[in-house]
């Protein structure tokens, strides 16, 4: 599959989606968002990819936001379509059955930060910067920031970031729970792929069920979340990997998971 604004490579069960418009700091215009949706749909169909890394091309940015040049010409109806398109991309990441790791190599601003928040785990370079600077353009986040950020870091910090539009550094993002690990810039992709490989070796149906229970449990009350967990837990009992995992433990040997 060929793309103009992104790159996709896959090796050893790890896919890497790179947003690749470095001249515009990888800003997300409608064509880029559509290519990402197409790529995510293909990853979903592709059984060989067991973990996905999302990163930005060029040294400077992960994604510096939605494309301001494109948005400057939009009217109300087009703005709504743009927001819905970006939201479809973040939802498509959350709906993938495999773990998605953001490798944040630089600026993750606006739509870029919203992309980060849709990923399962986040590894950031010590040079990464995070922010929701939309307020400085006279607009607000449109790819999920007003909804996901408060769920991640709490209401008061989310309000500070969205009303104030200031950036935070990678260490602050880690302390606030937006980032799992901060590593040196030159180690970023290696660390993200190492993490992806470790997760790709786990039983994929169990990973998918865990992802589903965590994701959908976030937005329901505890009782319904617990019921969802029991359903997802039960699904794993239909798998060969569950039989193998338990037999291996009881036989005091390493498990060999088949993915079935
Ligand atoms: N959209 C379009 N182009 C962008 C861009 C964006 N979000 N961010 C950067 N660029 C472009 C710049 O216009 C510039 O292009 P030219 O070389 O053609 O002039 C190029 O990328 C390099 O950028 P700068 O010269 O500005 O680089 P810098 O090092 O001085 O600053 C920066 C870097 C602080 C990230 C700065 O580029 C910046 O503030 N970018 C905008 C960040 C932003 O506001 N993001 C939110 C967008 S709105 C949004 O995302 C809404 C939503 O939720 C859906």
Mind listing the pLDDT tens digit for each residue in 18-70?
Answer: 999 999 999 999 999 999 999 999 999 987 899 999 999 998 999 999 999 99
**Choice from 19, 68, 85, 111 to test ligand 1 binding pocket (greatest atom count within 8 A of CB):** 68
Query: Residue 144 pLDDT more than 90?
Result: yes
Nearest CA to ligand 1 atom 42: 64
- Annotated catalytic residue 114: yes
Q: Would the pTM of this model clear 0.85, i.e. be above it?
A: yes
Q: Which one of the listed residues 134, 186, 223, 244 is annotated catalytic? A: 134
Nearest CA to ligand 1 atom 20: 24
Tell me the mean pLDDT in the region 144-163.
97
Return d(Cα 47, Cα 42) in angstroms, integer.
10
Asked if residue 89 lies in contact with residue 136, where contact means CB atoms within 8 angstroms, the answer is: no
Nearest CA to ligand 1 atom 3: 24
Residue 240: predicted pLDDT: 97
Query: Residue 1 pLDDT more than 80?
Result: no
> What share of the chain in percent tops pLDDT 90?
97
Per-chain mean pLDDT for the chain: 97
Nearest CA to ligand 1 atom 38: 64
Asked if residue 107 lies in contact with residue 133, where contact means CB atoms within 8 angstroms, the answer is: no
Q: Which residues approach ligand 1 with their CB closer than 6 A?
A: 24-25, 27, 64-69, 86, 107, 109-111, 114, 133-134, 137, 141-143, 145
Tell me the mean pLDDT in the region 234-259.
97
- Annotated catalytic residue 223: no
Phi and psi at residue 179, to the nearest 5°: -135, 140
Closest C-alpha among 199, 230, 188 to residue 18: 188
Tell me the mean pLDDT in the region 156-173.
98
Residue 47: predicted pLDDT: 77
> Which numbered atom of ligand 1 lies nearest the CA of 25?
21
Residue 46: predicted pLDDT: 82
């Amino acid at each position: 599959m060929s793309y103009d604004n992104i790159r996709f490579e896959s090796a050893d069960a790890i896919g890497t989606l790179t947003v690749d418009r470095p001249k515009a700091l990888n800003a997300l215009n409608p064509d880029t968002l559509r290519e990402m949706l197409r790529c995510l749909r293909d990853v979903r169909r592709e059984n060989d990819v067991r973990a996905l890394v999302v990163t930005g091309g060029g040294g400077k940015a992960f994604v510096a936001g939605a494309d301001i040049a494109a948005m400057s010409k939009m009217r109300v109806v087009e703005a709504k379509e743009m927001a819905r398109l970006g939201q479809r991309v973040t939802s498509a990441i959350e709906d993938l059955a495999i773990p998605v790791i953001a490798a944040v190599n630089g600026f993750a601003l606006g739509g870029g930060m919203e992309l980060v928040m849709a990923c399962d785990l986040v590894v950031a370079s010590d040079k990464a910067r995070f922010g929701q600077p939309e307020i400085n353009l006279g607009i607000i986040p449109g790819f999920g920031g007003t909804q996901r950020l408060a769920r991640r870091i709490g209401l008061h910090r989310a309000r500070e970031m969205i009303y104030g539009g200031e950036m935070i550094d990678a260490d602050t993002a880690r302390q606030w729970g937006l980032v799992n690990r901060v590593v040196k810039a030159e180690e970023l992709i290696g660390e993200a792929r190492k993490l992806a490989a470790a997760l790709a070796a786990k039983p994929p149906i169990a990973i998918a069920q865990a992802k589903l229970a965590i994701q959908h449990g976030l937005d329901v009350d505890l009782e319904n979340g617990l019921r969802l967990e029991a359903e997802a837990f039960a699904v794993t009992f239909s798998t060969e990997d569950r039989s193998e995992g338990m037999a291996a433990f009881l036989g005091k040997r390493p498990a060999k998971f088949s993915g079935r």
